[in-house]
Amino acid sequence: MSEEINYRQLLQQQLVKIRKLEARLEQAEAARREPIAIVGMGCRLPGGVEGPEDFWELMVRGVDATSDVPPDRWDAEALFGTEPGKIATRRGGFLKDVDRFDARFFGISEREAERMDPQQRLVLEVAWEALERAGHAVERARRERVGVFVGVMNNDYGQRVLEQEGLAGIDPTFMGARANCAISGRLSYLWGFQGPSLVVDTACSSSMVAVHLACQSLRNGECNVALAGGVNLLLSPEVSVYLSSSGALSPDGRCKSFDASADGFGRAEACGVLALERLSDARARGAPILAIIRGSAVGHDGPSSAFTVPSGVAQQGVIRQALQSAGVAPAEVSYLEAHGTGTAMGDPIEAEAMWSVLKEGRKGGESLWMGSVKTNVGYPEAASGVVGMMKVVLAMRHGQLPAHLHLKTPNPRIDWTSMAVKVPGELTAWTPTQGTRIAGVTSYGRTGTVAHVVLAEPPPRVDPERGPERPGHVLVLSARSEEALRAQVERYARFLETSTEPLGDVCFTAAVGRTHFEHRLAVVGRDARQVRERLLEVRGGSKVAPGALAPDVTFVFGGEGPAGGRELYETQPAFREGLEACAAAVKDLLGEPLVGLMYGGGAGRWKDASQERIAVFARQWALSRMWRAWGVRPSAVAGEGVGEWVAAVEAGVLGLEAGLRRAAGEAGPAVDWASAGLPRVMRASDAGVRLDLGRADSAEWTQVLETLGALYVRGVAVDWAAFDAPHSRRRISLPTYPFQRQRYWLTPS
């Protein structure tokens, strides 16, 4: 007779499987929709903008950063005019010093730096700053899964190289001048990044499409960190001549977006890079979260009325798709950073398209703010999207909307009366109508590619619970050269003069969130004022030779000294564990707890000499455990008296209990170094460092910090994350690297 089928059990088993599958689907969907955190930003913009702080100040002051065409671009006067072959304007938005670059910092030869597209050089610098602001230290040997996504459309410098040198000038360095793909590829190569690395060219929407692709790559697990942005330089007149021929350029070289006088745009230069991480990763790393990308979408105009004419229907579809991917209702969006080209045709199409979507669900009083950064800096083409995103991130951080410039008479082709849309004419408080601040940023390209990103402000920052703080801190700085180190000192001195950030977070970020170079400096202080004073005293005087290897370290143990180290016992887990290991090993010898003898009410009142020797041993052993936990490991040990037994245990000749018991005796057998195959005193190399753990003050915090700083300056590798592990720290925004630029440009033939 066949066995009876247990249908109830089968159903239960299938139900378990279904629930597991549902859980996996939920996890996959959550990963697909996970918000992306913007953790760092870097930029160069017209008006002398060298970073986000400068950018915000420019917008707060309502600056029109356009200017006359610099003479090193082209002869604007000779080319000015409306006839064929001429340019309709003498103005635009231009960067300063695009001929200058810190080739030494990036390890690039003079010949190659001279022929590299300056757009590539800009991206290298600005991407480095974005990573530094994110507190992400770059170490090439780590081969990290960092993705690089750069929007770029022009290559004026490569054209210059060809015109000046001809085919005979083509050599192995030519790719860096001519190939846009070298912009992302060289960055990944120089820093050892092994995530996706690519250049995007969808004309003026390039950088926003790059951001969209970076977010997808992060969510798909192709990379853990992504750099996304765009760059644009105007170094030759050909594109301006073309745009003039099509009537795209405004004669006054300004973007008068949404104004009745809008008659075209003013071209502009810019470079902007965002450092991105999955939100969960950014939180786990303690990264500074500037804003959140909730969703994004990309599409194309399709069959619009002409190849370069935008499609309102297509723009509506992309905005809806971005909102859907973000899980955001249209009425939750309280600000739109418009593409805002400033053309008579483009502005009304964009305004109507965005309002047809964002009006849904709005009730009385729920108006929408709208503006465009192009009224400040001009139209940075391939970098447009990322520049608009950075404006929104800064506005969210400050809770204010910068003024939209050049709006005197609203464009009559836009139905302002039926739209609850307001354009800020001055610096305006940004008060969201529904909960958090959420914004949309639109970007579209001349050949039809449309992109939209939905940004949200980060959740309120929750400061970690601060436990007992150490009585002093060590600030470490480094650079590629003495000149850069002195400049670094000046930057940090200015920062500390006004910063309200906890000094522990400052020192933690400088140590963990920065790459450590050959020229180094370390200062110790109890507060920001004292650290600043000591920075100004030293002014970059400490260094190690360029390319120096970390020296050998010798742990030296002594024969006497006070117990000491109470602060370390209370605050440093490795020190405490080392001491408690000693206490457990000799509890039957002492008759009372070792910690009580060392740090109790009767500390230092030894009943006999053996107790004191055990305490001396335990303190030095605990110190060695602490230094090892911080990444400082000896290549040699030496000792005398009690210290010889500590050295023997450190070298593995004796076990901990055996070493302690011999140290406790009035006289014990000598250490049998020979049987262990070791010399009695293992000597370090001539370039080595002696770390004296037997000194009377070696367990005092100030001396510990001074020693740690001295080791760092000598090139010893320190595990700074382990050093600060007992404390709750945050990565914060600190001064970025002071590039030491020189002129690298084509030499006139």
The answer to whether residue 467 scores a pLDDT higher than 80 is: no
Please say whether the dihedral angle defined by the alpha carbons of residues 372, 376, 378 and 381, taken in this order, is positive or negative.
negative
Query: What distance in Å separates the CA atoms of residue 618 and residue 600, rounded to the nearest whole number?
Result: 15
At 243-302, the pLDDT tens digits run 999 899 999 999 999 999 999 999 999 999 999 999 999 999 989 999 999 999 999 977
416 in Cβ contact with 410 (< 8 Å): yes
Query: What distance in Å separates the CA atoms of residue 650 and residue 644, rounded to the nearest whole number?
Result: 10
Q: Note the pTM of the prediction, 2 decimals.
A: 0.91
Query: Closest by alpha carbon to 499, among 527, 535, 522, 459?
Result: 527
Query: What distance in Å separates the CA atoms of residue 319 and residue 311, rounded to the nearest whole number?
Result: 13
At 328-353, the pLDDT tens digits run 999 999 999 999 989 888 899 999 99
Domain with CATH 3.40.47.10 in the chain: 36-456
Query: What distance in Å separates the CA atoms of residue 442 and residue 281, rounded to the nearest whole number?
Result: 27
Task: Write down the architecture of domain 554-725 according to CATH.
Answer: 3-Layer(aba) Sandwich (3.40)
Rounded to 5°, the CA angle 544-548-553 comes to 85
Query: What distance in Å separates the CA atoms of residue 356 and residue 358, rounded to the nearest whole number?
Result: 6
Q: Residue 43, SS3?
A: strand
Q: Which residues contact 375 (CB under 8 A, 6 or more apart)?
A: 64, 254, 255, 256, 257, 340, 342, 404, 405, 406, 407
Query: What distance in Å separates the CA atoms of residue 304 and residue 358, rounded to the nearest whole number?
Result: 22
At 363-405, the pLDDT tens digits run 876 789 999 999 999 999 999 999 999 999 999 999 999 999 9
Task: Among 20-34, 168-182, 509-523, name the one with the lowest average pLDDT.
Answer: 20-34
Q: Which segments of 545-612 are extended strands (E)?
A: 553-557
Q: Which segments of 175-217 are extended strands (E)?
A: 197-200
Task: Among 9-18, 500-509, 530-539, name the one with the lowest average pLDDT.
Answer: 9-18
Q: What is the CATH number of domain 36-456?
A: 3.40.47.10
Mean pLDDT over residues 448-471, rounded?
86
SS3 content of the chain, % helix, strand, coil (to 5): 40, 15, 45
Q: What is the pLDDT of residue 673?
A: 61
Q: What is the pLDDT of residue 395?
A: 98
Taking all residues of the chain, what is their mean pLDDT, rounded to a whole number? 89
Query: Closest by alpha carbon to 123, among 9, 327, 299, 270?
Result: 270
Q: Which residues contact 222 (CB under 8 A, 6 or more apart)?
A: 145, 147, 195, 196
pLDDT band at 674 (very low <50, low <70, confident <90, very high): low
The answer to whether residue 668 scores a pLDDT higher than 70 is: no
Place of tokens 């070696």: 698
Give the DSSP H/E element, type plus range, for residue 449.
Answer: strand 449-456
Q: What is the pLDDT of residue 694?
A: 86
Q: What is the pLDDT of residue 677?
A: 57
Strands 636-639 and 553-557: parallel
Mean pLDDT over residues 514-542, rounded?
88
Mean pLDDT over residues 724-746, rounded?
92
486 in Cβ contact with 540 (< 8 Å): yes
Q: What is the pLDDT of residue 684?
A: 41
Query: What distance in Å separates the CA atoms of residue 696 and residue 111, rounded to the nearest whole number?
Result: 56
Query: What distance in Å separates the CA atoms of residue 271 and residue 232, rounded to the nearest whole number?
Result: 6
Query: What distance in Å separates the CA atoms of residue 227 and residue 293, rounded to the nearest whole number?
Result: 14
Output 301 or 613, whichever has higher pLDDT.
Answer: 613
Domain with CATH 3.40.366.10 in the chain: 554-725
Q: What is the pLDDT of residue 471?
A: 87
Q: In percent, how much of the chain has pLDDT > 90?
A: 66
473-543: CATH class: alpha beta
At 42-94, the pLDDT tens digits run 999 999 999 999 999 999 999 999 999 999 999 999 999 999 999 999 999 99
Adjacent-strand bridge partners of 421: 368
Q: What is the pLDDT of residue 184?
A: 96
pLDDT band at 561 (very low <50, low <70, confident <90, very high): low
Residue 202, class by beta-carbon neighbours within 10 Å (0-12 exposed, 13-18 middle, 19+ buried)?
Answer: buried
